[in-house]
A and B are shown apart, each in its own frame.
Chain A
Amino acid sequence: MRDRRRLARGLVLACWAAFFAWLHLSGEKTRYLGPRTYWVVVFGAIVLGAAALAHLMTARNAPRRALEPRDALGIGALLVPLLAVAAVPSAELGALAASRKTAGAGAASVGAIAPPVPTGDEAISFAEINYASESPEYAGEAGIAEGMEVELTGFVTHPDGLPEGTLGLTRFHVSCCAADAVPYTVPLVADPGSRSDDVWLRVAGNLALRDGTYVLDPREVTVVDAPSDPYLY
């Protein structure tokens, strides 16, 4: 190859195209993105792949050019995120991220985006229960009331502001990517010291009202693995 800078750029573009293709084929895109931006993975794989091909094919006939150290560092900098993924391939947002992303006065008020009123077979989940605590009108429309049976899967958190005798069962809502994740927490009736942060639980039980907040009174609690798709959308 005569143009080594073009060759290096082509190889880095090919690495990114391969990474995007892997994200798409393995389903790992759900770890980083929400459904609204899944298209960028396919777009990135195709266009970066085409750019890589164009670079590699033209590098042979281009005028001779060396790869200067400064160029190499600049081009190599684009590999840093790929190295980060290689170092921590199963990164998850957990209790620490939930504590950092909590801007409201109390955990139960965070993420108070009014979700659509569930219809038909749609299950009541974190967003609906969370918002029902904010709005009795919404609770009425959604049919959320004390005694209602629900089943939730989430991870354990211990945020401030929960009703006494509860710990948090939390799940993140993602719009575009993990950077915009918003935590939804439903208080779970349990000894707060009985569970560690970030343990994933599937909880079946009934809703109860404590200090105006809906809490989940468990009937059955099962420790489970983190789901392959950890977010709510």
Chain B
Amino acid sequence: MAIGERAAPAARLPAQTPGWLLVPVAAVAAVLLVRLTALGGAAEVETFVLVFTSIVVEALPFILLGALVSAAIEVYVPDRAFDRLARLPAAMQIPGAALGGLAFPVCECGSVPVARRVIARGLHPGAGLAFMLAAPILNPIVIFSTVVAYGGRGLALEMAAGRIVLGLVLAVVAGWALGNVTPEELLRPREGDASCDHAEPKRAAFVEHLAGDFFYMGKFVIAGAGLAALLQTAIPQSLVSGVARTPVIGSLALMAIAFVLSLCSEADAFVAVSFTPFPIGSQLAFLVFGPVVDAKLAFLYGATFRRRFVLRLLAVALPVTLAGSLWFEVMVG
């Protein structure tokens, strides 16, 4: 028996080792190939690498911040606190959670792991979703940057108010529409959830949950950043400028650009204000839709929620954002 136990790993080694070695060897070979050939100097490669890396460098600390909060919720917040919250009616939980976004100053990458954790701990799924969608639009840093960006156009208050109101409406509507399910029906199961060892010391459990969330979310943010960088490198934004002045098409076009660019919501107002050929309502659509659905988030949502969540979210976010942007255009434009 003892011999068998020792022999088993040795017998598996030859079958696994070559596959293991291929990945790092291929990675080093790819780095050398790019450095030693003209490939590294190609404008397309430089643009892709710079945009890709900058999105990841900016997003990872926010993922880490979200993972910190998520791990703290898991390890340090007692069950009875969630039990009390879970007893509140959904009609209070969902708008309350959306308003909670006002006090959580992180981008969309940070709000996803937090939302996942609070849903798993018993908060109404709609409330978790409302918080996740509202926080990147409503947090104070985002509103401040919107005020600064639109200050020069004399539209600071209008744009900030439009973003807050439409962001809140979208978060609450999406929370109601998509959150009327059980946590098991909404969340994609993860290996780490099942293997949680409650006998572990709290500090060790905190580190394990922190790393679990960070590595799980991090790889999908990287995949999303790769897609966003590829789209930014390949597709000229001028493709859509021809339809800029058509209200509905203009809003849809800027929503498509928001999806492609995958900007941090704390910076997107400075880009939105530069879309001068587009009506102000279309620019609001860019500012509300982008933090809710973009290329990077599509990967993150796919990793967090069950199948077709992104399509169902699009089915809610598109009409609500479009209607809100047209209303804003009529009122302010």
Contacts and interface: CB of A to CB of B under 8 A. Distances in A.
The A contact surface, by secondary structure, is helix
B72 interface: no
Given A13-B211, A55-B211, A113-B152, A36 B31 contact: no
Contacts of B228: 179
B31 A87 contact: yes
Interface in A174-217: 175-180, 182, 197-198
Interface in B247-264: 257, 261-264
B313 interface: no
Contacts, number: 221
B214 interface: yes
The B contact surface, by secondary structure, is helix
A65 to B, nearest CB: 10
B183 to A, nearest CB: 23
A105 interface: yes
Contacts of B241: 103-105
Contacts of B51: 93, 97, 178-179
A54 B232 contact: no
Contacts of B208: 6
B267 A198 contact: no
Interface stretch (B131-139, B274-282, B315-323): B274-282
B61 A47 contact: yes
Contact of A96 (B31, B44, B235, B244): B44
Contacts of A134: 276
Interface string A80-120: 11011111100111111101111111000111111110000
A105 B49 contact: no
B60 A16 contact: yes
Contacts of A114: 151-153
A182 B274 contact: yes
Given A23-B57, A69-B19, A73-B23, A36 B267 contact: yes
Contact of B204 (A32, A58, A110): A58
Contact of B210 (A51, A88, A101, A110): A51
A33 B58 contact: yes
Interface in B213-260: 214-216, 218-219, 222-223, 225-226, 228-229, 232-238, 240-241, 244, 257
Interface centre among A31, A96, A179, A198 (most CB of B within 10 A): A179
Interface stretch (A37-45, A142-150, A162-170): A37-45
A93 B233 CA distance: 10
A17 B262 CA distance: 24
B50 A110 contact: no
Given A175-B270, A180-B261, A81 B237 contact: no
Given A69-B20, A83-B30, A180-B263, A113 B55 contact: no
Interface in B45-60: 45-47, 49-58, 60
A78 B222 contact: yes
B56 A81 contact: yes
A227 interface: no
Contacts of A80: 222, 226
A73 B152 CA distance: 48
B103 interface: no
Contact of B60 (A9, A33, A44, A95): A44
B268 interface: yes
Given A33-B58, A113-B149, A179 B232 contact: yes
A69 B46 CA distance: 31
B276 A112 contact: yes
A152 interface: no
Contact of A176 (B40, B222, B266): B266
15 contacts: A13-B214, A16-B60, A44-B61, A75-B215, A76-B23, A77-B219, A85-B53, A91-B47, A93-B50, A97-B233, A103-B277, A105-B277, A114-B152, A179-B229, A180-B264
Among all A-B residue pairs, the 9 with the closest Cβ atoms: A114-B152, A176-B267, A178-B54, A103-B237, A87-B34, A96-B43, A177-B54, A32-B54, A175-B270
Given A69-B20, A180-B268, 20 more contacts: A44-B61, A47-B61, A47-B64, A51-B211, A77-B218, A79-B27, A81-B56, A83-B30, A88-B45, A88-B50, A92-B46, A94-B47, A96-B47, A97-B50, A100-B232, A103-B275, A104-B274, A105-B277, A176-B58, A179-B262
